[in-house]
Chain A
Amino acid sequence: MGRLDRVAALARDVTSATADVARNIVFGSGPEGEDDDGVERALERLTCGVLSSDRALAGRTLCEIVEERDSAKARVARAWGERLLETLRETTDDDDVIRAALEATRACASGRMGEGRDACRAMIARDFAWVRQLVSELRGRDFYSRLAAAQTLREASESEGEALRASAARDPTAVPTLMDAMKENEVIRNEALLLLVELTKDHEELQKIVAFEGAFERAFAVMREEGGVEGGVVVQDCLELCNNLLRDNPSNQTLFRENGFVRSVPGLAAVEREIGNSGMRGISAQKAANALCALETVHLLVSPNQEDGKRRNARHDAELEALLRQQRLAGCRANQSELAKTGTVEILVRASLGDSAVNAVSVRVAALRALAALVRNHEENQTELFSATADRAGTVTEPALLACGRTALHSLSPAERAAASSVLGASMRGNPDGQLLLVSTLAPTGFGATDGSEDASLGGLLARALATNVGMVYDQASVEAARILRDMLHRNDDAKLKALRVNLEPVTSRANASELLLPRCVRQLAVTHTTEDEKPQVERLQTVILRLLIVWLYECKPAVDAFLSSPGHLPAIADLARTGGSTESPHVAALACVVLGCCLLEKAGSVLDVVSARVGLQSFFMKWEAMTTSEQYVQAAETPKLPRALTRANVAKLAIQSDGEDEVPPGEGLYDNEITVFINELEERVKTSIMSMYAKPSAGEERSASSVIRRDGEDDASYLTRLQEALRASEKELEDVRSRNTVLAEQLLGTSNPAAAPSGDEAVSGSMENGSRPASNEALQAAVEAAKRANAHEIENLKRDLEDFKRLADERQESLTSLSSAYNGLEAEVYRLESEATGLRAKLHDIADSDDVSAPDTATLDVAREAGRQEGRRLAEVEFETRMRDAVEAAVAEAAAAHEAELNDLLACLGQEEASKEHLFARLLELGVDETALEEDLAKIVIGDE
Chain B
Amino acid sequence: MSYAYLLKYIIIGDTGVGKSCLLLQFTDQRFQLVHDLTIGVEFGSRMVTAGGKQVKLQIWDTAGQESFRSITRSYYRGAAGALLVYDVTRRETFDNLSSWLQDCRANANHNMVIMLVGNKSDVSHRRAVSTEEGEMFARENGLLFVETSAKSAFGVDDAFVATAGAVLAKIDTGVLDVKNESSGVKLGYDPGRKGTSDVARLDVRRAEPGASSCC
Binding site for B on A (CB under 8 A): 169-176, 180, 204-206, 208-209, 212-214, 217, 220-221, 223-224, 228-229, 250-252, 254-255, 258-261, 263-264, 266-268, 270, 272, 274-275, 314, 320, 323-324, 327, 342-343, 347, 350, 355-356, 391, 393-395
Q: CA A325 – CA B122 in complex, angstroms?
A: 32
Q: A172-B72, A209-B75, A272-B207 are in contact. List 7 more A-B contacts (CB 8 A).
A: A209-B74, A223-B202, A250-B40, A258-B45, A259-B198, A275-B210, A355-B209
Most buried by B among A259, A264, A347: A259
- CB interface residues, B 157-209, toward A, < 8 Å: 181-182, 189, 198-207, 209
Q: CA A252 – CA B215 in complex, angstroms?
A: 51
Residues from chain A with a CB closer than 8 A to the CB of B215 are: 393-395
The count of chain B contact residues (Cβ–Cβ below 8 Å) is 44
Q: CA A490 – CA B135 in complex, angstroms?
A: 64
A224, B200: Cβ atoms closer than 8 Å: yes
A327, B40: Cβ atoms closer than 8 Å: yes
Given contacts A212-B8, A264-B201, A275-B210, contact A172 B76 (CB under 8 A): yes
Q: How far is the CB of A532 from chain B (nearest CB, A)?
A: 44
A209, B71: Cβ atoms closer than 8 Å: yes
Residues from chain A with a CB closer than 8 A to the CB of B198 are: 217, 259
Q: How far is the CB of A128 from chain B (nearest CB, A)?
A: 10
A255, B58: Cβ atoms closer than 8 Å: yes
Of B182, B202, B213, which contacts A268 at CB under 8 A?
B202
Given contacts A205-B65, A214-B181, A264-B199, contact A251 B8 (CB under 8 A): no
Residues from chain B with a CB closer than 8 A to the CB of A258 are: 45, 58
Q: CA A172 – CA B202 in complex, angstroms?
A: 33
B200, A220: Cβ atoms closer than 8 Å: yes
Residues from chain B with a CB closer than 8 A to the CB of A314 are: 37
B43, A252: Cβ atoms closer than 8 Å: yes
B70, A171: Cβ atoms closer than 8 Å: yes
Question: Can you name the residue of chain A whose Cβ is closest to the Cβ of B38?
Answer: A251
Q: CA A180 – CA B199 in complex, angstroms?
A: 19
Question: Can you name the residue of chain A whose Cβ is closest to the Cβ of B41?
Answer: A251
28 examples of A-B residue contacts, CB within 8 angstroms: A170-B70, A172-B70, A172-B72, A176-B77, A205-B64, A205-B71, A208-B43, A208-B60, A209-B71, A209-B75, A214-B181, A217-B200, A223-B200, A229-B205, A252-B43, A258-B58, A260-B199, A261-B200, A267-B204, A267-B205, A270-B204, A270-B205, A270-B206, A272-B206, A320-B35, A323-B40, A324-B40, A327-B39
Q: How far is the CB of A629 from chain B (nearest CB, A)?
A: 34
Q: Is the interface of B mostly helix, strand, loop or mixed?
A: loop
Given contacts A176-B182, A213-B78, contact A206 B40 (CB under 8 A): no
B213, A394: Cβ atoms closer than 8 Å: yes
Given contacts A169-B68, A212-B60, contact A394 B210 (CB under 8 A): yes
B202, A175: Cβ atoms closer than 8 Å: no
Question: Can you name the residue of chain A whose Cβ is closest to the Cβ of B201?
Answer: A264
Residues from chain B with a CB closer than 8 A to the CB of A172 are: 70-74, 76, 107
Q: CA A252 – CA B206 in complex, angstroms?
A: 29
Residues from chain A with a CB closer than 8 A to the CB of B71 are: 169, 172, 205-206, 209
Q: CA A514 – CA B206 in complex, angstroms?
A: 48
B204, A343: Cβ atoms closer than 8 Å: yes
Q: How far is the CB of B7 from chain A (nearest CB, A)?
A: 13
Residues from chain A with a CB closer than 8 A to the CB of B8 are: 212
Q: CA A109 – CA B60 in complex, angstroms?
A: 37
B39, A205: Cβ atoms closer than 8 Å: no
Given contacts A212-B60, A213-B78, A394-B213, contact A251 B199 (CB under 8 A): no
Residues from chain A with a CB closer than 8 A to the CB of B40 are: 250-251, 323-324, 327
Q: How far is the CB of A847 from chain B (nearest CB, A)?
A: 112
- CB interface residues, B 52-99, toward A, < 8 Å: 58, 60, 64-65, 68, 70-78
Q: How far is the CB of A253 from chain B (nearest CB, A)?
A: 9
Whether, in the assembled complex, B42 has its beta carbon less than 8 Å from a beta carbon of chain A, the answer is: yes
Question: Can you name the residue of chain B whose Cβ is closest to the Cβ of A320?
Answer: B35
Given contacts A209-B71, A228-B202, A320-B39, contact A176 B78 (CB under 8 A): yes
Q: CA A212 – CA B60 in complex, angstroms?
A: 8
Q: How far is the CB of B42 from chain A (nearest CB, A)?
A: 4
Q: CA A294 – CA B204 in complex, angstroms?
A: 13
Residues from chain B with a CB closer than 8 A to the CB of A252 are: 43
Question: Can you name the residue of chain A whose Cβ is closest to the Cβ of B45?
Answer: A258
Residues from chain A with a CB closer than 8 A to the CB of B60 are: 208, 212
Q: CA A343 – CA B203 in complex, angstroms?
A: 12
Q: CA A181 – CA B181 in complex, angstroms?
A: 13
Q: CA A486 – CA B210 in complex, angstroms?
A: 37
Residues from chain B with a CB closer than 8 A to the CB of A223 are: 200, 202
Most buried by A among B40, B58, B60, B203: B40
Q: CA A88 – CA B201 in complex, angstroms?
A: 43
Q: CA A921 – CA B95 in complex, angstroms?
A: 86
Question: Can you name the residue of chain B whose Cβ is closest to the Cβ of A260?
Answer: B199
Question: Can you name the residue of chain B whose Cβ is closest to the Cβ of A171?
Answer: B70
Residues from chain B with a CB closer than 8 A to the CB of A224 are: 200-202
Residues from chain B with a CB closer than 8 A to the CB of A356 are: 207, 209
Q: CA A206 – CA B204 in complex, angstroms?
A: 31
Q: CA A171 – CA B77 in complex, angstroms?
A: 13
Of B39, B72, B182, B213, which contacts A324 at CB under 8 A?
B39
- CB interface residues, B 1-57, toward A, < 8 Å: 8, 35, 37, 39-45
Q: CA A355 – CA B41 in complex, angstroms?
A: 45
Q: CA A373 – CA B127 in complex, angstroms?
A: 51
Residues from chain B with a CB closer than 8 A to the CB of A175 are: 74
Q: How far is the CB of B170 from chain A (nearest CB, A)?
A: 20
A220, B207: Cβ atoms closer than 8 Å: no
Q: CA A645 – CA B41 in complex, angstroms?
A: 25
Most buried by A among B45, B65, B198, B200: B200
